Amino acid sequence: FQSLSVAQRYLLLAGAGLACLAAGPLLERLLKFLINRRQSRGRCRRQFDCIFFSGGSLLPPCQAASQALAAAASSSNDPAVFCPDPSDCRLSHSSQHPYFQLIRQLASAVRSLDLCMYTLSSPDLSALLLALSQRKPRPVRVRVICDSEQLHSLGSAIAKLRSAGLPIRADSTSYFMHHKFCVIDRSLVLTGSLNWTGQGTLGNWENVVALDDVKVVEAFRREFERLWQEFSPASRSAR
Amino acid sequence: FQSLSVAQRYLLLAGAGLACLAAGPLLERLLKFLINRRQSRGRCRRQFDCIFFSGGSLLPPCQAASQALAAAASSSNDPAVFCPDPSDCRLSHSSQHPYFQLIRQLASAVRSLDLCMYTLSSPDLSALLLALSQRKPRPVRVRVICDSEQLHSLGSAIAKLRSAGLPIRADSTSYFMHHKFCVIDRSLVLTGSLNWTGQGTLGNWENVVALDDVKVVEAFRREFERLWQEFSPASRSAR
């Protein structure tokens, strides 16, 4: 440094200053890139935003595959491998099938699944809830709110879930508890038009949208807790 | 510049260089701030993310207020002013009432409203659709897809809308076109559990979530267009 002229020293200093300044935004961009990559990886676990069930034209999924997937309750397994003979089976094994998309979203639950569902009669989906609640080594805490009229209706799977030990609550009015949403791990909401029935999942035009927006999740989480309290046996006997 | 020493000149140049470099990120931040402010202003027009209808315990909104709001089809008007006598009226005039929240979201339509609704019998909401489609000077383009069984069911408002000139399409199957969503101005989706019926809006527990996420809006917009084509008279006669 001593061997340099004054001008050269200033040039060197200015250059170093410029390099520091230039490095700031570059570092910022690098950080943003890393954060974005991490977030998009996190989102990959919630693979689909909008699930559309597409009326009678939809090829039904293979029941063996969907039941096995529900029992396994794992988001990483390919449904096709669960069918005894996929090459001979004429049903859908596509992992893009809306029914599989829905099952995969639900099976991603790790800690909790709070379900607020007008009517629940799908054997696959009720089997999935049971499998999650009994998952080893860490069971998922599953709670279910449903409509009072649907609690014991023909084909309802809810009484079965209750007798298996799942906590179930329902309204006590003639109005409908008509929600069709669930909150997974307090960080993801699924909502839309779909009742968890055979006709809903295999026949109708329906939508389920998966949302991880913090404000939306918080709103649905609070609504679930509010209804869970409102429909508690204690609240009722206090009336 | 000529009166300065060489060292001073380099210092000045380095200073100017530093200033330019520092100005870049500052300008970037200013731009981001302005863009964010504009976006959040845009979002203010869509005032609510999640609308919860809360069962039989909900005080019904004043019909006079909601009908007048629907007819005015304006997002800026306060429902209370439309009631002939709010001081004497025992119904709700709260602008936070979920029914008013929904009406305000729908009335914010400027160019288009694409409705995909299983059943539609609410006089207020069908009046709102008509008012929007006849709004002066710029009518909103309203299109409706509904379920075939609900087209002529008792109390349905859909036949009335069709005879007033609104384009209506429906499936031709025994399955349900069970969606309950609409796309407003190709930039906002409302979806959830709510059918546009009196019981839905005034009695049940329901949710409607408003989403302006670009990917979600695009998915619903495409699904609407797909169904609009699938249910067109031309597609049917081609079968």
- Out of A88-97, A147-156, B172-181, give the one with best mean pLDDT: B172-181
Neighbours of B21 (CB within 10 A): 17
Would an 8 Å CB–CB cutoff place B18 in contact with chain A?
yes
**Shortest CA gap A138–chain B (Å):** 31
**In the predicted model, what is the mean pLDDT of chain A?**
83
**Are residues B234 and B143 part of one domain?**
yes
Measured distance CA(A129)–CA(B111) in Å, rounded: 43
> At residue A215, does pLDDT exceed 70?
yes
Q: Say if B72 falls within a structural domain.
A: no
pLDDT one-digit tens code per residue, B110-152: 999 999 999 999 988 998 899 899 888 889 999 999 999 988 8
pLDDT for the residue A75: 45
pLDDT for the residue B84: 73
Q: Say if B210 falls within a structural domain.
A: yes
> At residue A43, does pLDDT exceed 60?
no
Neighbours of A217 (CB within 10 A): 19
Would an 8 Å CB–CB cutoff place A204 in contact with chain B?
yes
Which residue of A51, A147, A179 is the best one to mutate when testing the B interface, meaning the one whose CB has the most B CBs within 10 A?
A179
Is A205–B215 a contact, with Cβ atoms under 8 angstroms apart? Answer: no
Instruction: State percent of chain A over pLDDT 90.
Output: 38
**Shortest CA gap B139–chain A (Å):** 29
pLDDT for the residue B238: 60
Cα angle value B74/B76/B82 (rounded, 5°): 70
CATH code for position A193: 3.30.870.10
Q: Say if A90 falls within a structural domain.
A: no
Tokens of B216: 């979600």
What is the average per-residue pLDDT within B174-192?
Answer: 96
Q: Say if A81 falls within a structural domain.
A: no
Which residue of B205, B212, B226 is the best one to mutate when testing the A interface, meaning the one whose CB has the most A CBs within 10 A?
B205
Query: Interface pTM (ipTM) of the complex?
Result: 0.77
Is A181–B173 a contact, with Cβ atoms under 8 angstroms apart? Answer: no
Interfacial B residues in 96-135 facing A (CB < 8 Å): 118
**B50 vs A237: which has the higher pLDDT:** B50
Q: Say if A37 falls within a structural domain.
A: yes
Choose, from A93, A97, A179, A180, the residue flagged as catalytic.
Answer: A180
Question: Exposed, middle or buried, B101 (CB in 10 Å: 0-12/13-18/19+)?
Answer: buried
> At residue B46, does pLDDT exceed 60?
no
Decide the pairing of beta strands B168-170 and B141-146.
parallel
Measured distance CA(A228)–CA(A222) in Å, rounded: 10
| CB nearest A175 (choices: B6, B49, B55) | B55
Q: Say if A15 falls within a structural domain.
A: yes
Q: What is the DSSP string of chain B?
A: -TTS-HHHHHHHHHHHHHHHHHHHHHHHHHHHHHHHHHHHHHHHHS--SEEEEEGGGSPPBPHHHHHHHHHHT-SSS-GGGGSS-TTT--SB--TTSHHHHHHHHHHT-SSEEEEEES-B--HHHHHHHHHHHT-SSS--EEEEEE-HHHHSSTT-SHHHHHHTT--EEE--SSS-B--EEEEETTTEEEEES--BSHHHHHTSEEEEEEE--HHHHHHHHHHHHHHHHHTSHHHHHH-
**Are residues A217 and A138 part of one domain?**
yes
Is A200–B179 a contact, with Cβ atoms under 8 angstroms apart? Answer: no
**Are residues A54 and A22 part of one domain?**
no
Is A207–B55 a contact, with Cβ atoms under 8 angstroms apart? Answer: no
**B39 vs B187: which has the higher pLDDT:** B187
pLDDT for the residue B86: 75
A190: enclosing H helix or E strand: strand A188-192
Dihedral angle over CA of A71, A75, A76, A82, nearest 10: 30
DSSP 3-state of A107: helix
Q: Phi and psi of B107, rounded to 5°?
A: -70, -10
Instruction: State percent of chain B over pLDDT 90.
Output: 38
In chain A, which residues have their Cβ closer than 8 Å to the Cβ of B22? 21
Q: Phi and psi of A62, rounded to 5°?
A: -65, 125
**Are residues A3 and A53 part of one domain?**
no
pLDDT for the residue A13: 84
Neighbours of A27 (CB within 10 A): 10
How many folded domains does chain A comprise? Answer: 2
**Shortest CA gap B137–chain A (Å):** 35
Is B193–A180 a contact, with Cβ atoms under 8 angstroms apart? Answer: yes
Q: Say if A66 falls within a structural domain.
A: no
In chain A, which residues have their Cβ closer than 8 Å to the Cβ of B17? 14, 18
**Are residues A124 and A36 part of one domain?**
no
Q: How many contacts, defined by CB atoms under 8 Å, are there between A and B?
A: 146
**Are residues B31 and B126 part of one domain?**
no
DSSP 3-state of A25: helix
pLDDT for the residue A44: 39
Tokens of B123: 């006089």
| CB nearest A7 (choices: B10, B17, B203) | B10
In chain A, which residues have their Cβ closer than 8 Å to the Cβ of B28? 25
Contacts of B40 (CB under 8 A, 6+ apart): none
Would an 8 Å CB–CB cutoff place A49 in contact with chain B?
yes
**Are residues B119 and B33 part of one domain?**
no
**Are residues B129 and B17 part of one domain?**
no
Q: CA of A217: which chain B residue's CA is closest? A: B50
pLDDT for the residue B220: 97
pLDDT for the residue B71: 65
**Are residues B144 and B53 part of one domain?**
yes
Decide the pairing of beta strands B180-184 and B112-117.
antiparallel
Q: Say if A78 falls within a structural domain.
A: no
**Are residues A54 and A20 part of one domain?**
no
In chain B, which residues have their Cβ closer than 8 Å to the Cβ of A211? 209, 211
Which residue of B28, B32, B50, B96 is the best one to mutate when testing the A interface, meaning the one whose CB has the most A CBs within 10 A?
B50
Q: What is the DSSP string of A115-163?
A: EEES-B--HHHHHHHHHHHT-SSS--EEEEEE-HHHHSSTT-SHHHHHH
Interfacial B residues in 23-42 facing A (CB < 8 Å): 24-25, 28
**Shortest CA gap A167–chain B (Å):** 20
> At residue B27, does pLDDT exceed 70?
yes
**Are residues A149 and A186 part of one domain?**
yes
**Are residues B230 and B114 part of one domain?**
yes
Q: Which domain holds residue B173?
A: 48-59+106-238
> At residue B15, does pLDDT exceed 80?
yes
Residue B158's pLDDT band, with cuts at 50, 70 and 90, is very high
